[in-house]
Homo-oligomer: A and B are copies of this chain.
């Protein structure tokens, strides 16, 4: 009845025509598809950022969405092309871990290796996004079953986002993403904080490696802090963020993705 949604997430940028070529292929094979960009500005080859952004965005899409995600340093090498079937969505992309966190969040069902010999055109070894993944996504969007396009497999690269945990009475986590506003998104979920009885208004002690610990307020909205004040809150991904009101925490703290942090109640 409705138009099938195909989302696109890549590290291709918007300066070149690569994304447009993929969209053109999709609309050629499935003209009624409705295309939505998640982002094309993933830092080149940054698998962790791709996995994070896809797992953030996917749960908000309509049931039946096909998510095409391509950050693919191994294109033309041995890595498998995958279809990952999840509850209410299908993911298409390379087998390097970027699809699994999103699929697990929705409920992982089955993983298929794409049989690229069944694709219509001769394909290049330089642009599988256009030549293998886009036609696969288009067919899935127009109703072809994953099992017609691939062979089920149980071997695939697992998640690339690390888990936070409690160690020596503190939460040890990691910065998994820094957004445009300089918010530092961690992998520390709401439950870990509840285990420490952290509540709005609590003071948290946050330590980064080889650096003085900070004591900052745990709040519910950026604007509850003074302009420029560092704060923590549960961000829109559902995890702890280290932020500053109308300022960039990433610049204030000179902290970036991959950096470890330790959190405890002050």
Contacts and interface: CB of A to CB of B under 8 A. Distances in A.
Interface string A37-69: 111110011000000011011001110010000
Nearest to A63: B28
A116 B13 CA distance: 35
Contacts of A15: 39, 41, 179-180
A32 B130 contact: no
B180 A28 contact: no
A81 to B, nearest CB: 14
Contacts of A25: 60
B62 A41 contact: no
A156 interface: no
* Identical subunits present: 3
A166 B126 CA distance: 26
A169 interface: no
A224 B77 contact: yes
B224 A76 contact: yes
Instruction: Report which residue of A17, A41, A44 has the largest number of chain B beta carbons within 10 angstroms of its beta carbon.
Output: A17
Interface stretch (A2-10, A103-111, A144-152, A253-261): A2-10
Interface stretch (A157-165, A191-199, A205-213, A215-223): A215-223
A35 interface: yes
A235 interface: yes
Interface string A1-30: 011010101001111111111011101100
B61 A36 contact: no
A168 interface: no
A28 B221 contact: no
B181 A44 contact: yes
A69 B65 CA distance: 25
A233 interface: yes
A53 B130 CA distance: 15
A39 B20 contact: yes
A4 to B, nearest CB: 10
Interface of A: 2-3, 5, 7, 9, 12-21, 23-25, 27-28, 31-32, 34-41, 44-45, 53-54, 56-57, 60-62, 65, 73-77, 124-127, 130, 179-181, 220-224, 233-236, 246
Q: Can you list the 9 inter-chain pairs with the closest CB atoms, starting with the nearest?
A: A76-B221, A24-B60, A127-B236, A77-B223, A125-B221, A13-B180, A2-B31, A17-B57, A15-B41
10 contacts: A18-B236, A20-B39, A21-B56, A21-B57, A28-B62, A76-B222, A126-B220, A126-B234, A126-B236, A130-B236
